[in-house]
Amino acid sequence: MLSIRPFRALWIALSLSSLGDWLSILALAVLAPGLTNGGGVAKSSAVGGVFVVTLLPALLLGPIAGALADRLDRRKTMIVGDVIRGLLFVSIPLFPNLTWIYVAKFAAGIASQFWNPAAAATMPNLVPREKLERANQLSLVTTYGTAPLAAGLFSILALVGSGLSMVLPVFRHTSNVNLALYFNAASYFVSALTVYFLRQISTRRERGEISVPSTAKAIWEGWRFIRRTPAISGLVVGMLGAFSAAGVVIGLGYSYVSQTLHGGSAGWGLIFAAIFVGMALGMAFGTRLFGGLSRRRLFGVTLTAAAIPLALIGLVPNLIMVTVFVVFLGVMSGIAYPLGFTIVGLEVDDDTRGRVFAFFQSTIQVILLAVIAAVPFLSAGFTKAIASTTGSGDVKIGNIVYASAGQNVVILLAALVVAFVGISSYRRMDDREGVPLAEDLLAALRGEEPPPVPDEDDAQVAAKSHGLFIAFEGGEGTGKTTQARLVSIWLREQGYDVVATHEPGATKIGMRLRALLLDTAHAGMSPRAEVLMYAADRAEHVASVIEPALNRGAVVITDRYIDSSLAYQGEGRGLRADGIARLNRWAANGRVPDLTVLLDMPPEEGLGRRARSGDRLESEPAEFHRRVRAGFLALAKAEPSRYLVIDATRSVEEITEEIKDRVRDILPDPIPSTAEAATGAFPAITDPPLPR
């Protein structure tokens, strides 16, 4: 990518200005608390303030700055933005007071809000279309990848600054972060120069209405959609929980490093670098290592696991140990963060995805801001409470001293929140219920296929409803349609809620599938396609007709069901029956009839009864239909208790009587007790007892 010269120039500008952005956050987080005269709370709030003014411009301007930037000359926007930011950062060491830091940082943030979209919009002018995605990835990597670099640089500059102030009298009264601020300003100026020489950036202005929803509207619209989708709501709970924890880490970071860990500015840079190193490791290796694990599970697991290093950070106040824990924390977020976005990308429709992303971005910013601003007060409150009971805000356990222990309390609380949302989002999103997590993890680590999800237990499904499910099966012209109708009428006369239905084609979708399946024009259709279409029809049928009816306690009588697929496609077409059975168990959500009435007769006789010309399956040769018959009989033989096999050559009345006899034995109480309880009314059934 970098061999494209104009892109390389833009990329350099982007790297420099991202480096400057990160460096400024680090430097100001150190400078700000030094400028207050207050105690611990004032100092932590001063740091919090830096983050608030960093995030605020995005929140206030984010939605419209992009649209506004589209109307301006991009090259000028970028140059002016860089120069303004450079000047602002030079001014900070010259006027070192807290208010000016906030004003300058805020103003620089506003400039960034214009700079960033201008740079992003420039990309398509500099690289060929097919490389655009790579280019965007690369600039994303640069935006975040410069953070650890900035952290390392900051630590070095801070040490050099301290050294200089000791050696040279000129630097005696300057803060050791000034050097970082000057460097930061310089990076913006160089970036401005780079853009100045980048002639390819279009100066074309795009006209058009600016209409961008406000942050509040983005949140509301996204939320309305998300609430309806359990998996996505699980994801949201997780992401927001994770970001509140991130807010705690950012908001407390500096004061924890300086007060409890005695790390100073260099230590702060170290911790900052550690989190990004961890994130990079997580992004690079996490999904590779656990590639076989379900994405949704991995998200919940990493989130929950992140609670462990977070809790340890609060429990072990030692700079080296904390750095290690922070790397682990970074690894977890490095896995979970892109996973979350991938899940939204893959599982949310095109037309709602924008809204969901907007929701994420807006809420994440609001949460980060709120938590960062609140956390110093929260931890100070806890420290005070501890001081009022024990006499000192510091807690000593054994050899370990927890200075201003309120901070540790807040970190532990954050760990608790992360564990809680991690588990809750795992539960909501789990797409492999029934497979123990340990098995999945082991398989993923060994690089094996994940173990299959067991089918829902048939007994479990049946227990869920109290209706009665009867299927009529048989070859062509066996009279099953007539019998199914007669039995339905009889049951209705007894006061039963009866749903008479059939396959294929009992639903809207089913009707279209039926037309496809039975059209003689489709002779020679691939047998597997045929199986899948019948199964699709069945899935729709079960979900929209059969299950709702059974759940309300109705008697469902279907003309054909899974056995038809096993007999026609299995025996008839010669496909393996176990595959068809498995597929159909899944399609039908494990629904098995309580009784299957099989009307059996030699196929020649049945086909002879048909007056009209045959459909695609009826037109199969006699040998096909003989195999189908054998298939049905074999199924009945394998499970005699669930089948009633009837000699269909007899008279219609005789057959109906035989079926009634068998159905009577399994009929439920005509009015299920739950229905009575639900309505509180007596059933309006006055019919005499069932005739024998």
Regarding 369 and contact with ligand TMP (CB under 6 A), the answer is: no
Regarding 182 and contact with ligand TMP (CB under 6 A), the answer is: no
Cβ proximity to ligand TMP, 416 vs 518, nearer residue = 518
Instruction: Transcribe 339-387 into DSSP letters.
Output: HHHHHHHHHS-HHHHHHHHHHHHHHHHHHHHHHHHHHHHHHHHHHHHHH
Residue 481: closest CA among 409, 542, 541, 559: 559
Regarding 473 and contact with ligand TMP (CB under 6 A), the answer is: no
Near ligand TMP by CB under 6 A, which window of 92-100, 379-387, 420-428, 561-569? 561-569
Q: Which residues are within 8 A (CB) of 88 and not within 5 positions of it... i.e. 6 or more apart?
A: 104, 105, 107, 108, 111
Cβ proximity to ligand TMP, 254 vs 568, nearer residue = 568
Residue from 568, 624, 632, 643 in contact with ligand TMP (CB under 6 A): 568
Closest approach of Cβ 130 to ligand TMP, in Å? 46
Query: Tokens 């908001």 — which residue?
Result: 251
Regarding 541 and contact with ligand TMP (CB under 6 A), the answer is: no
Residue from 9, 311, 500, 617 in contact with ligand TMP (CB under 6 A): 617
Residues 484-503 that bind ligand TMP (CB under 6 A): 503
Regarding 264 and contact with ligand TMP (CB under 6 A), the answer is: no
Instruction: Transcribe 631-648 into DSSP letters.
Output: HHHHHHHHSGGGEEEEET
What SS3 class is residue 331?
A: helix
Cβ proximity to ligand TMP, 24 vs 565, nearer residue = 565
Size of the site for ligand TMP (CB under 6 A): 12
Residue 396, H or E segment: strand 395-397
Regarding 571 and contact with ligand TMP (CB under 6 A), the answer is: no
Regarding 564 and contact with ligand TMP (CB under 6 A), the answer is: yes
**Sign of the CA dihedral 568, 571, 576, 580?**
positive
238 contacts 365 by C-beta, under 8 angstroms:
no
Regarding 189 and contact with ligand TMP (CB under 6 A), the answer is: no
Residue from 161, 263, 317, 504 in contact with ligand TMP (CB under 6 A): 504
Regarding 534 and contact with ligand TMP (CB under 6 A), the answer is: yes
Regarding 565 and contact with ligand TMP (CB under 6 A), the answer is: yes
Closest approach of Cβ 459 to ligand TMP, in Å? 24
Give CA–CA dist 492/486, Å, rounded: 10
Near ligand TMP by CB under 6 A, which window of 80-88, 233-241, 427-435, 564-572? 564-572
Buried/exposed 323-340: b ≥16 CB within 10 Å, e otherwise:
bbbbbbbbbbbbbbbbbb
Residue from 296, 428, 560, 629 in contact with ligand TMP (CB under 6 A): 560
Regarding 606 and contact with ligand TMP (CB under 6 A), the answer is: no
Give CA–CA dist 429/450, Å, rounded: 17
Regarding 600 and contact with ligand TMP (CB under 6 A), the answer is: no
**Sign of the CA dihedral 473, 475, 480, 481?**
positive
Residue 255: closest CA among 247, 265, 246, 244: 265
Near ligand TMP by CB under 6 A, which window of 105-113, 241-249, 425-433, 559-567? 559-567
What six digits make up the tokens of 667?
């009929």
Closest approach of Cβ 620 to ligand TMP, in Å? 8
Cβ proximity to ligand TMP, 202 vs 482, nearer residue = 482
Give CA–CA dist 414/310, Å, rounded: 8
| CA 258 and chain centroid, separation | 37
Residues 408-467 that bind ligand TMP (CB under 6 A): none
> Which residues contact ligand TMP by CB under 6 A?
476, 503-504, 518, 534, 560, 564-565, 568-569, 617-618
